Amino acid sequence: MRSDTRWYFDHNATTPIAPVTREAVSLAMEDAWANPSSLHQDGQRARRCFEEARAQVARFLGCSPKEIVFTSGGTEAANLAVLGGVRASTRRDRHVLTTAIEHPAVLEACAQLEREGVAVTYLQPSRQGVIGPEQFRRHLTKDTVLASVMHANNETGAVQEIAAMAAMAREAGVLFHSDGVQAAGKLAFSPVSAGVDFYSVSAHKLNAPKGCGALYARTGTVLAPLLHGGRQERGRRAGTESVTLAAALGAAVAMERPDVTPLRDRLEQGLLARIPGAHVNAGQAARLPNTTNVAFDGIAAESLVIALDLRGFSVSTGAACSSGSTEPSHVLLAMGLSPEQARSSVRFSLGLGNTAEQVDLLLEAAAEAVARLRALSPAHSEVVR
């Protein structure tokens, strides 16, 4: 039954390398391998390549190149904003406002701040996975130094009203970070027009290699660096820069991307039509155009992921970054789903390379796999709602 052909529907976990980013990597390796801090011509060539990549990322985000800090990925970008933004504050009582549905890149940074004596509030989402701006405003306190609300959720695709919350934060003199790792490249957005202070992006969600990301840090903001050892990135990130990976990110953000909304809708509607007891999580929320998260009554999501894998399809049980764990998703639990409902939820995320034909094949395979799993063992019927 194992299929040799593969169809990839897990773009929120990571994305395949696009030809333009592969080419950018190869060019940078050949031509810009030197240390961009070196004074000689080899170093200057690397510097030019690196600064061109910075300019591409800045154009993509609608900001000034000086406002871009290259990092090792989305996790480091979010850590730099949250830890660096709060640690730069000299206030005695410090409070951070965030949400219960953040990626661990933000949640774990907040947990670290709590160990350092910072108070943290975790806002609970609605059943649709949405944080209300008024709810956000109510939890700002006189001690709030920084707020961090993700732009779009990696599991459900639910999009938050970032601009409204950023405006409230600014009015209250509070720094505002948004984890844009999943939204970047999928939504037309500029952190500058939205009034955000910090915005994180990651290369490997954009058809570029892993190991690179960027933080938009608005001019005038101060960040305590996470790494010490050099004055690179205007003192915000020490260490010899990866020109190669930055070049890949630059090429990735400059790339045209197809709108996969029709494919996602075809998949979602097809699943609902063919499979009884299928429910879209956060289906009423404004969502990323490429994501659908579906609960299948009576199914252990991991069994379905494996069954689809054997049929050639890569999908995931929500939080890809913690895949391998059988814990129910903290995002779905925070939305009010029961542990059983959360454990029966599968995420399908589309991107470059997906076609309507692939969607139709997936629909057929999913309907067949769900029917087979339901017919199978009592273990599966135990999780029926």
Residue 181 touching ligand PLP (CB under 6 A): yes
Q: Nearest approach, Cβ of 106 to ligand PLP (angstroms)? A: 7
Cα 158 to the center of its chain, rounded Å: 11
**In terms of CB distance, is 202 or 281 closer to ligand PLP?**
202
Taking the least distance from each CB to ligand PLP, the nearer of 103 and 343 is 103
Q: Kindly state the DSSP code that residue 362 receives in the 8-state scheme.
A: H
Among the listed residues 36, 60, 74, 307, the single contact to ligand PLP using CB under 6 A: 74
Q: How far is the CB of 102 from ligand PLP (least distance, A)?
A: 8
Q: Is 182 an interacting residue with respect to ligand PLP (CB under 6 A)? A: yes
By the 8 A CB rule, do 128 and 285 touch? yes
| 148 touches ligand PLP (CB under 6 A) | no
Residue 349 in contact with ligand PLP, rule: CB under 6 A: no
Count of Cβ atoms closer than 10 Å to residue 59 Cβ: 13
Which of 75, 148, 160, 317 touches ligand PLP (CB under 6 A)?
75
> How far apart are CB 234 and ligand PLP at their closest, in Å?
22
45, 103, 186, 236: which one binds ligand PLP (CB under 6 A)? 103
Q: Taking CB under 6 A as the rule, which mask of x and - marks residues 199-218 in contact with ligand PLP?
A: ---x-x--------x-----
Residue 248, classed as helix, strand or coil, is helix
321 tagged catalytic: yes
CA-closest candidate to residue 299, choices 349, 368, 359, 371? 371
Cα Rg, the chain, nearest whole Å: 21
Least spacing, CB of residue 136 vs ligand PLP, in Å = 18
- Assess contact for 247 and 25: CB atoms under 8 A: yes
SS (H, E, C) 327-356: CCCHHHHHCCCCHHHHHCEEEEECCCCCCH
Q: Closest approach of Cβ 143 to ligand PLP, in Å?
A: 26
Shortest Cβ distance from residue 3 to ligand PLP (Å)? 26
Q: Which two tokens stand for residue 231?
A: 């004055």
Q: Are 185 and 257 in contact (CB under 8 A)?
A: yes
Length of the chain: 385
Q: Which one of 68-76, 133-141, 262-270, 377-385 is the stretch in contact with ligand PLP (CB under 6 A)?
A: 68-76
What residues does 76 pair with on adjacent strands? none
Mark the segment that binds ligand PLP (CB under 6 A) among 43-51, 74-82, 123-131, 232-240: 74-82
Q: Among residues 69, 101, 150, 175, which is the contact residue for ligand PLP, using CB under 6 A?
A: 150
* Out of 10, 67, 179, 197, the residue judged to bind ligand PLP by CB under 6 A: 179
Q: CB-wise, 15 or 303, nearer to ligand PLP?
A: 15
98 lies in the site for ligand PLP, by CB under 6 A = no
Residues with Cβ within 8 Å of residue 336, at least 6 apart in sequence: 127
Say if strands 278-281 and 175-179 run parallel, antiparallel, or are unpaired: unpaired
Give start and end residues of each alpha helix (H) in the chain.
19-31, 41-61, 74-87, 104-115, 133-138, 162-171, 191-194, 243-254, 261-274, 301-310, 330-334, 339-343, 356-375, 378-381
Judged by CB, which is closer to ligand PLP: 73, or 191?
73
Interface with ligand PLP by CB under 6 A: which residues?
Answer: 73-75, 78, 103, 105, 150, 154, 179, 181-182, 202, 204, 213, 321
Q: Catalytic residue positions?
A: 321
